Structure 1
Amino acid sequence: MLTLHTADLLVTGPGSTPLAGGAVLVDGERILRAGPYEELGAEAPHARVRRWPGVLTPGLLARGADALLERTYYPDDPYEVTELGGDPITGARELEALKMTEARWGHSARRGTQKLLARGVVAVAGRFTIGSVRTAVVRSGLAVVPPAPYEGEASLDPLAGRESAGQAFHGVLEAGAAARFAVFAVADEAELMERGASTCVATVISGRLLHRRR
């Protein structure tokens, strides 16, 4: 089924010129075209239309995902929040006190991947050694790429420590490319960098809407 995603502003890749009223036409897992909404709408008049507020960009790449998912525990809300608090737990001593098992790591990783999807993440870089964590990542739909050198601590927000949003983009939005993108409730890239990836309102991977802010 053809789906036309349109937003106030379209950014197709690092350094590209933002297009007001731009859109991405998706067929299954792939992008057919990216360009002005009027042109794509005329080309595919029967496509389902999803209108989003803000800026539509390539999805983001989270680096240091092994630290985010295998060395960070995300308490189960609401069941563990009273005892553990709502913040992610890190540190060897703190994690040892939790008596982590592989199954518990898997449950935590599922919550962690949901947090990443809610920040426009479509791919993660890292090597996973815990089987249940690998399974959680694969089932989430996130692509896994080899780790790359990076500065600073791993963060749920891939824009943290970046000089531009384009540095965190994973791929570009063009004909034939995988349909992996995100929409942020901001006016432009400058506001996106100022407010961060928590402004995400939608994340699409392989043409599927895997996160939508309620």
Structure 2
Amino acid sequence: MRTIHAAPVVRRTWDAEPVEGDAVVVTGALIEAVGPLTLLTERFPDARVRRWPGVLGPARLHEGPLPPAPSPRERVHALLKSGAVAVLGEHLDSPELRAAADRNDLVVLAGARTPALTATGRADLAAFDESGTCVATVCAGRLVFRRR
């Protein structure tokens, strides 16, 4: 299913200038397009539109150890709740934690990289409200966290 993710402000990278009125089209696990919401809704009239408060940008890379929690599954969920879907492999220090990361389609990296929203790139997005709290995380095109 094709989904358009929109927010008052979109950042293609977290260092890029914010763009008002932009949105991201996600089809399956990939980003199909990034651009003005008005043009994208015209181009994809049958797409579902999800509107998020605050700012929408690429899901983040978590560079340190995963947050503490009672189980590997809960440690990965805590990461997703923070807006991150990528982690450095050195911090997946047990087979159970690596399996939980794999089950949730986390990106496991050997080194840091700058996440970006690009057409044909993997659909990893995060939305943050005005206070900086993550309100939604999309991992490989799937909505894996939404704050109610």
Q: Mark yes or no: TM-score above 0.5.
A: yes
| Unpaired stretches in structure 2, ≥5 consecutive residues | none
1:138 to 91, 97, 102: 102
Q: Distance in 1 between matches of 2:135 and 2:114?
A: 18
- 1:14 Cα deviation from its structure 2 partner: 4.0
Q: Which has the higher strand share?
A: 2
Cα gap change, 1:201/1:33 in structure 2, threshold over 3 Å: closer, same or farther? Answer: same
CA contact (8 A) 2:137 2:145 kept: yes
Q: Structure 2 length normalisation: TM-score?
A: 0.91
Q: Distance in 2 between matches of 1:147 and 1:136?
A: 20
* 1:16 aligned partner: 16
- 1:133 Cα deviation from its structure 2 partner: 1.5
Q: Which has the higher helix share?
A: 1
* 2:79 aligned partner: 116
Q: Distance in 2 between matches of 1:130 and 1:213?
A: 29
CA contact (8 A) 2:23 2:36 kept: yes
* 1:207 aligned partner: 141
- 1:170 Cα deviation from its structure 2 partner: 4.6
Cα gap change, 1:34/1:179 in structure 2, threshold over 3 Å: closer, same or farther? Answer: same
Deviations 1:34-88 (A, max 9, x none): 11100111110110111111100111111123xx36xx4x24xxxxxxxxxxxxx
Q: Distance in 2 between matches of 1:28 and 1:52?
A: 19
* 2:25 aligned partner: 25
CA contact (8 A) 1:61 1:121 kept: yes
Deviations 1:78-135 (A, max 9, x none): xxxxxxxxxxxxxxxxxxxxxxxxxxxxxx2211111110010010013234211111
Greater Rg over alpha carbons, structure: 1
Q: Structure 1 length normalisation: TM-score?
A: 0.64
Q: Distance in 1 between matches of 2:51 and 2:94?
A: 39
Q: Percent identical across equivalent pairs?
A: 42
Q: Distance in 2 between matches of 1:14 and 1:49?
A: 23
Matches within 5 A, 1:38-117: 38-65=38-65, 68=66, 72=68, 74-75=69-70, 108-117=71-80
Q: Distance in 1 between matches of 2:58 and 2:5?
A: 13
- State the Cα RMSD in Å: 1.7
* 1:34 aligned partner: 34
